[in-house]
Copies of this chain bind each other. A is one copy, B any other.
Amino acid sequence: MNCFAQNDAKKDATILKKLYDTSLLNGKSYAWLDYLSNQIGGRLSGSVNAQKAVEWGEKELKELGIDKVWLQSVMVPKWTRGVTEFAYIETEPGRTTNVPICALGGSVPTPIGGIKAPIIEVKGIEDLRKLGSDQITGKIVFFNRPMQADLIETFKAYGGCVDQRYSGAAEAANFGAVGVIVRSMNLRLDDFPHTGSMSYGDLPDMDKIPAAAISTNGADLLSSMLTLNPKVKFHMNMNCRTWKDVESFNVIGEITGSEFPNEYMVVGGHLDSWDLGDGSHDDGAGIVQSMEVLRLFKEIGYKPKRSIRVVLFMNEENGLRGGKKYAEVAKNKGENHVFALESDAGGFTPRGFSFDCDDVNFEQVESWKSLFEPYLIHYFAKGGSGADIGPLKKDGIVLAGLRPDSQRYFDYHHAKNDTFDAVNKRELELGAATMASLVYLFDSYGVK
């Protein structure tokens, strides 16, 4: 290592320390999250709360005194849950046990008064296909393959199950099912049903069937009752609805680069959330951490060489319209995006990042490892980045995702208990400082 590089390492260490100290001693992320979660709350795309969140984000970014703040219009889907869903298991007429369900995002409603039908359990889509129309027609299909608890990274366990939620209804409808119940994507046994997006694919409207998630405790109960008596029936009642698309916005703030203003670096999360909780982990945390990156730079007096943008993406959950729109506009304007970092894995203790980039840039990241050691940041791996920044992918861009500890994430994900009290202030602040540190390093040394 030459003398120049050594000097830089010392300077870098000093700046990282300033970023961490400021986030922990004088951070704003937690107070922002308090407002977003407790004063606004759940903010599904197209809702009044989503609009409030847009206005709040714009106002807060403007108060930072950064160079530019603007809204980027984007049409988003609008789906509403309606009154709380209701379901029971019926062992014989008049003998029923209620179980907690919630409609999956995008589902059609049941007919008024609900549906009641025999229910059949499958462990996944392949299992369903084996059974075929004979055994499926006229029934509610119960997808009950649990998340694999022996996988250390819970996102892998999620990835191994979520096809049931996303495609289960379309597949089951093809075999004549009248409804779908999916075991919640939750590693814990509890009473919270977890919603999430689903798709009917190219199914005609008249063939769409209602789809709901059932809590993990409810799923275990239903499964054991089916074992005792395969003739139990299931009743479900939902009055969710899909409306016409409505206008919403990505919220964007920028510190314009002092040396390379035409090289853009993005840091962001998604501003929309599901409607059941207040979306503190998913993805309020990512929103306030991303805003905090720019605030920390201002606070410690760091003037970036490249243009740093914070983007509060709209509609990650059920459409990704915001992410697609941002990339489309960037492309049309010929903006040279060199780096993007997303935080969308919860506000837990940061462990590191995963990178979607070429080897040269990954080697550069690995050369920074020791700078992160004092903060117990140790995880630097190739892998995915984030859904919202995915559409920016092209040769020469570095895409990165913050990787917090994942053990508790699916306890809260898309459920009623994803609330502010489940976020620890220090864990959130450490994440923001970790993100700011990576952005600082890429700004200083550039993308190779």
Contacts and interface: CB of A to CB of B under 8 A. Distances in A.
Interface in A331-389: 349, 351, 374-376, 378-379
Nearest to A428: B407
A256 to B, nearest CB: 30
A426 B374 CA distance: 26
B376 A351 contact: yes
A93 to B, nearest CB: 37
Interface stretch (A18-26, A83-91, A280-288, A289-297): A18-26
A416 interface: no
Question: Which of A20, A349, A375, A376 is most buried by chain B, counting CB atoms within 10 A of its CB?
Answer: A376
Given A407-B349, A407-B424, A424-B407, A374 B152 contact: yes
A21 B151 CA distance: 8
A167 B338 CA distance: 56
Contacts of A379: 376, 378
A427 interface: yes
A150 interface: yes
A251 to B, nearest CB: 29
A188 interface: yes
A103 to B, nearest CB: 28
Interface in A125-160: 149-150, 152-154
Contacts of A405: 349, 405
Contacts of A241: none
Interface string A382-425: 00000000000000000000000101100100000000000011
Contact of A407 (B153, B188, B427): B427
A353 to B, nearest CB: 14
A187 interface: yes
Nearest to A351: B376
Given A20-B150, A24-B150, A25-B150, 16 more contacts: A20-B152, A24-B149, A25-B149, A152-B375, A152-B376, A152-B430, A187-B426, A351-B376, A376-B379, A378-B379, A407-B424, A407-B426, A407-B427, A408-B424, A408-B427, A411-B424
Interface of A: 20-21, 24-25, 149-150, 152-154, 187-188, 349, 351, 374-376, 378-379, 405, 407-408, 411, 424-427, 430
22 contacts: A20-B150, A24-B149, A24-B150, A25-B150, A149-B426, A152-B374, A152-B375, A152-B376, A153-B376, A187-B426, A188-B425, A349-B349, A349-B405, A351-B376, A376-B379, A378-B378, A405-B405, A407-B427, A408-B424, A408-B426, A408-B427, A411-B424
